[in-house]
């Protein structure tokens, strides 16, 4: 039998179920993975609620089809996630608690799905978000079901979670310009949060292994350190990221976002893209400073301004009423009309980052944003707000040298003034230091895309994972 016929035969009777945490930054990563696996002929089932499945398909649309993925719309009680408050960020990330509480309702329908697939399938593989550890215990209790956890944060963040939650003294180990010993006690995680992570880690003990959404060219040293951890040594680890597509299929249709049309008119690498992900909003006071800082920089920009009440995906898109913000922005839009675009709500981030006119990304350093930016070779102006973001910031600035800092994590309680915002933009976009950071970002981008292509480490790990589950 030739290789392709053999691979096709092996795929028969294998079912993969992916279970994301119901929060957008996690939903989209497993959708990207589901699309990659289904493109390779694997039968994939995406398990979530109707609302979340609709949202993620709508927002992460295009680029790769998901026609062959089986979406399962499980009932889930509506829940609202509070805004993670930067000043309270040292506490357990309370914004995740409603998602954790709601997600438990997925246990029963998930069990029913896994049982129904186990009977006719040769093999059932559950890939669950590492924060959905109840699913690991469930899989272990079902005959014929094997589980892998999926880490939706950086290997660096996972490593530090592990070390800190085990009370391990961080080693005097230098990676890039970062000595790991100085990272400890930075107020990123409380004892309560570390206890939560420890329990999560223990619950995934029965898993066959893990998938990491990262790649060796970004995090090789940290992936190696993780593989030396006692439990990881016994389990399989596949570093398959970045999962986001890197080639934009721009079909030039009328549904292109207006900001892309504007971007088309700008010179190469001249535009600063500003976005803080899907969980954080800035105070009106901070928005005013950011507006002033962007304008004072004299640089072109696209700024995605997310309204706080959009944190709840059940809120009606576009129905928010932010009188003070609207007032603040009414004249601003006219003033910056020639140099900038303010997008209220949602922008096509991947297309913006892939666009030749984009020259820098002011970001909160959520892991998706980091991976998307690194894979497109776009340097970052880092402004960490909560959770793993301070750690991702260190990775981008100190380890990879692909970013500059807007606001230090240690100053999270303070308002970041317009002057600091302006200065960080100028450092990256026109300063000497910026040239080197841009050069590094381009080089890292090339290395990441190589890792994703045939012969690269991430492609090889994805192949190895598929070979394992279909063997």
Point out which residues bind ligand UDX (CB under 6 A). Answer: 24-26, 28, 152-153, 275, 277-279, 304, 346-347, 349-350, 366-369, 372, 387-389
Please identify, using beta-carbon distances, which residue of 369 and 424 lies nearer to ligand UDX. 369
Please, what is the minimum distance in Å from the beta carbon of residue 111 to ligand UDX? Answer: 26
Question: What count of residues does the chain have?
Answer: 471
Please, what is the minimum distance in Å from the beta carbon of residue 420 to ligand UDX? Answer: 22
> Measured between alpha carbons, how far is 148 from 146 in angstroms, rounded to an integer?
7
Please identify, using beta-carbon distances, which residue of 275 and 438 lies nearer to ligand UDX. 275
Active site residue 129: yes
Please, is 109 exposed, middle or buried when counting C-beta atoms within 10 Å of its C-beta (0-12, 13-18, 19+)? middle
Name which of 377, 379, 376, 346 is nearest 362 in CA terms.
379
Please, what is the minimum distance in Å from the beta carbon of residue 351 to ligand UDX? Answer: 9
Please, is 85 exposed, middle or buried when counting C-beta atoms within 10 Å of its C-beta (0-12, 13-18, 19+)? middle
Please, what is the minimum distance in Å from the beta carbon of residue 469 to ligand UDX? Answer: 25
Please identify, using beta-carbon distances, which residue of 38 and 279 lies nearer to ligand UDX. 279
Structure tokens belonging to residue 134: 């109840």
Please, what is the minimum distance in Å from the beta carbon of residue 383 to ligand UDX? Answer: 12
Please identify, using beta-carbon distances, which residue of 19 and 117 lies nearer to ligand UDX. 19
Candidate list 66, 129, 388, 461, residue with the active-site label? 129
Which residues have CB under 8 Å from 454's CB, separation 6+?
none
> Measured between alpha carbons, how far is 119 from 105 in angstroms, rounded to an integer?
23
> Measured between alpha carbons, how far is 304 from 348 in angstroms, rounded to an integer?
10
Please, what is the minimum distance in Å from the beta carbon of residue 346 to ligand UDX? Answer: 4
β 174-175/178-179 pair status: antiparallel
Check: CB of residue 236 under 8 Å from CB of residue 208. Answer: yes
* DSSP annotation of 404: E
**Reading across the β-sheet that carries 340-344, which strands appear in turn?**
340-344, 300-305, 271-275, 358-363, 380-382, 403-405
Residue keyed to tokens 């059940």: 314
Residue keyed to tokens 């480490």: 457
Which residues have CB under 8 Å from 434's CB, separation 6+?
379, 404, 426, 427, 428
Please identify, using beta-carbon distances, which residue of 124 and 325 lies nearer to ligand UDX. 325
Please identify, using beta-carbon distances, which residue of 1 and 249 lies nearer to ligand UDX. 249
Active site residue 32: no
Which of the residues are catalytic?
26, 129
């Amino acid at each position: 039998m030739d290789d392709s016929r053999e691979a096709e035969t092996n795929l028969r009777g294998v079912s993969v179920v992916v279970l994301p945490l119901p929060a957008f930054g996690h939903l989209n990563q497993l959708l990207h993975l589901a699309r990659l696996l289904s493109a390779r002929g694997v039968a994939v089932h995406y398990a979530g609620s109707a609302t979340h499945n609709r949202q993620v398909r709508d927002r992460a649309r295009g680029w790769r089809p998901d026609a062959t993925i089986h979406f399962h719309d499980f009932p889930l009680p509506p829940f609202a996630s509070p805004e993670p408050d930067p000043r309270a960020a040292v506490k357990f990330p309370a914004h995740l608690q409603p998602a954790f509480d709601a997600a438990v309702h997925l246990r029963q329908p998930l069990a029913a799905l896994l049982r129904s697939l186990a009977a006719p399938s040769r093999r059932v593989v559950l890939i669950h978000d590492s924060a959905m550890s109840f699913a690991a215990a469930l899989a272990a209790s079902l005959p014929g079901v094997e589980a892998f956890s999926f880490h939706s944060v950086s290997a660096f963040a996972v490593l530090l979670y592990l070390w800190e939650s085990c009370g391990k003294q961080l080693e005097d180990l230098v990676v890039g310009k970062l000595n790991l010993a100085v990272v400890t006690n930075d107020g990123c995680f409380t004892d309560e949060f570390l206890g939560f992570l420890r329990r999560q880690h223990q619950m995934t003990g029965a898993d066959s292994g893990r998938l990491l959404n990262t790649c060796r060219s970004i995090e090789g040293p940290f992936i190696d350190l993780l593989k030396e951890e006692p439990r990881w040594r016994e389990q399989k680890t596949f570093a398959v990221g970045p999962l986001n597509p890197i080639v934009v299929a721009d079909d030039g249709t009328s549904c292109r976002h207006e900001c892309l049309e504007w971007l088309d008119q700008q010179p190469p690498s001249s535009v600063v893209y500003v976005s803080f992900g899907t969980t954080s909003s800035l105070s009106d006071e901070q928005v005013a400073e950011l507006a002033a800082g962007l304008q004072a920089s004299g640089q072109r920009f696209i700024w995605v301004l997310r309204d706080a009440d959009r944190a709840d995906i059940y809120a009606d898109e576009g129905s928010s009423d932010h009188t003070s913000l609207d007032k603040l922005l009414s004249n601003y839009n006219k003033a910056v009309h020639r140099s900038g675009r303010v997008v209220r709500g949602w922008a096509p981030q991947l297309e913006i980052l892939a666009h030749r006119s984009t020259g820098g990304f002011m970001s909160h350093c959520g892991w998706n944003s980091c991976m998307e930016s690194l894979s497109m070779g776009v340097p970052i102006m880092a402004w960490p707000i909560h959770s793993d973001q301070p750690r991702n910031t260190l990775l981008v600035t100190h380890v990879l040298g692909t970013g500059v800092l807007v606001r230090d994590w240690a100053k999270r309680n303070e308002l970041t003034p317009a002057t600091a915002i302006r200065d960080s933009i100028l450092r990256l976009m026109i300063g000497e230091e910026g040239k080197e950071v841009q050069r590094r970002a381009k080089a890292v981008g090339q290395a990441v895309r190589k890792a994703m292509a045939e012969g690269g480490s991430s492609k090889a790990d994805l192949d190895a994972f598929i070979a394992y589950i279909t063997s």
